[in-house]
Amino acid sequence: MKAVAIDWIRSKTGFRLLLTVSALLLLSICYMLYISQWLSGEFEALCGGGGAGISLEQTVERITIRFVSTTFLFLAGGVIVVTVFSLSGGRADADAADTLALQDDDDEDDEDPIIEMEEDLMLPAEMDDSEGGEEGGAVPGAETMASAPSNLAHSYTRMLDVMQRINEMEKEHSIELADKNTQLQQEIAERKRAEAEIRHLSNRLISGIEEARKHLAQDLHDEFGQTLTALHIEAETLMSAMPADLVAQRQRIDGLVALIEQLGDKIRSISSDLRPDLLDDLGLVPTLRWNIEEYARNRPELQIDFQAVGARKRFPSDIELVLYRLFQESLNNVIKHSRATRFSVTLTYSHPKIIFILKDNGIGFDQNTDTDGIGLLGMRERVVSVAGTIAIISGKGRGTTIRVELPVSREGLSREN
């Protein structure tokens, strides 16, 4: 079997080689005939005077160009012929080699497990027919025809098994993916619940602190304010009742009245810092303007710029309180620590959030080495309690910038300022 196949391959190769050589010889003969005929025609035209008006150099150039182009065309045709026959021969050799390899494998593996499985799947009737054919001299090819249905049945069974395994793997992966997804959703829900609880507790803590400040401010205003007012009236009454010749005593009472007035101003200032009445009555923007004017009068060396864009209506009370406390803390840091000469405040409302920027040109601090103080931590806690974000940017000699974004809905807006 192998020798016959090899002889067949060799005969095919020799036939292809003969065809290739014949085609190349035919192209060469055509090329030589064409060149000789063309050159003889050109020579006769040149000798007979047919090329009058054309110089010898032009004639040589034309003949050279045509000769080169014609030679190139014939060479290209030869290359194409050789390539076509080589490719067809390579494919034929590869097919023949594959056929020989398959035949060798069939000869070596007589006991193929697939064939054994096919024999096991063969129907009883087919087994009887094959046995009867062997005993009674069956027609050639009957065994192959009888085994064809069993081969198809075996292939179909294997295909069903593979599809079933694929479906099982898909189900397993789907179940595993669903479990992972459920676990991830539970973790996300737990994290959100923890964040919401922390935010709620922080909000309650800050609300408690603000309520305590409010009650303390009211107590200072009501109790101490009334007492100081009565003391002030009594001191003035005492000074009015004293004789005019008691100059020293009257001066001492004047000093006492001045001290009472200073104490009253200090108590009003502390009460305003604890809970400003303007914030509850007029809103955030007028309160910020009033505070900036007060600081400008008391500290003319610090230039404070304030801009409010889009804030035409009142914000929710918790939002206004957070922004006011951020302004207070930032301004206190500027006065106490930064040694800045300029401080800018920008309030922008762009639905659905408020952008609050506080910036100074002070000495700043190194964020890589310096830790946040109590004031900055308190600012972060206040912003987080209303589901906002805060960014603090600073550096040595580059000042400090605080950018705050707080969410607010249109339903939370109230009457105009």
Which CATH number do you get for residue 334? 3.30.565.10
pLDDT at 60 over 80: no
pLDDT of residue 413: 55
Look at residue 227 and tell me if it is in a domain: yes
* Token reading at 273: 């810092």
Judgement on whether residues 103 and 223 belong to the same structural domain of the protein: no
The rounded percent of the chain whose pLDDT value lies above 90 is 11
Query: What is d(CA 170, CA 178) in angstroms, rounded to the nearest whole number?
Result: 12
- Return the higher-pLDDT residue of 211 and 405: 405
pLDDT of residue 131: 45
Judgement on whether residues 235 and 357 belong to the same structural domain of the protein: no
Judgement on whether residues 287 and 268 belong to the same structural domain of the protein: no
Judgement on whether residues 293 and 396 belong to the same structural domain of the protein: yes
Place of tokens 């840091």: 333
Judgement on whether residues 282 and 240 belong to the same structural domain of the protein: no
Judgement on whether residues 284 and 360 belong to the same structural domain of the protein: yes
Judgement on whether residues 289 and 261 belong to the same structural domain of the protein: no
Domains: count for the chain: 3
pLDDT at 275 over 70: yes
Look at residue 162 and tell me if it is in a domain: no
Using the 3D structure, point to which of 255, 275, 295 is the last residue of a domain. Answer: 275
pLDDT at 268 over 80: no
Judgement on whether residues 412 and 291 belong to the same structural domain of the protein: yes
Look at residue 240 and tell me if it is in a domain: yes
Looking at residues 187-195, what average pLDDT do you find?
85
Tell me the pLDDT band of 241, cut-offs 50, 70 and 90: confident
The pTM assigned to this predicted structure is 0.49
Look at residue 55 and tell me if it is in a domain: yes
Look at residue 358 and tell me if it is in a domain: yes
Look at residue 166 and tell me if it is in a domain: no
Judgement on whether residues 230 and 326 belong to the same structural domain of the protein: no
- For residue 9, the enclosing domain spans 2-108
Task: Report helix angle 56-108 to 2-47, nearest 10.
Answer: 170
Using the 3D structure, point to which of 108, 124, 151 is the last residue of a domain. Answer: 108
pLDDT of residue 123: 42
Look at residue 138 and tell me if it is in a domain: no
Judgement on whether residues 250 and 322 belong to the same structural domain of the protein: no
Average the pLDDT over each of 168-182, 216-230, 382-396 and give the range with the smallest value: 216-230
- Return the higher-pLDDT residue of 49 and 61: 61
Query: What is d(CA 227, CA 249) in angstroms, rounded to the nearest whole number?
Result: 23
Average pLDDT value over all residues in the chain: 75
Using the 3D structure, point to which of 260, 275, 290 is the last residue of a domain. Answer: 275
Query: What is d(CA 86, CA 5) in angstroms, rounded to the nearest whole number?
Result: 20
Look at residue 11 and tell me if it is in a domain: yes
Please state the φ and ψ torsions of residue 35, each to the nearest 5 degrees.
-65, -45
Judgement on whether residues 18 and 96 belong to the same structural domain of the protein: yes
Judgement on whether residues 270 and 287 belong to the same structural domain of the protein: no
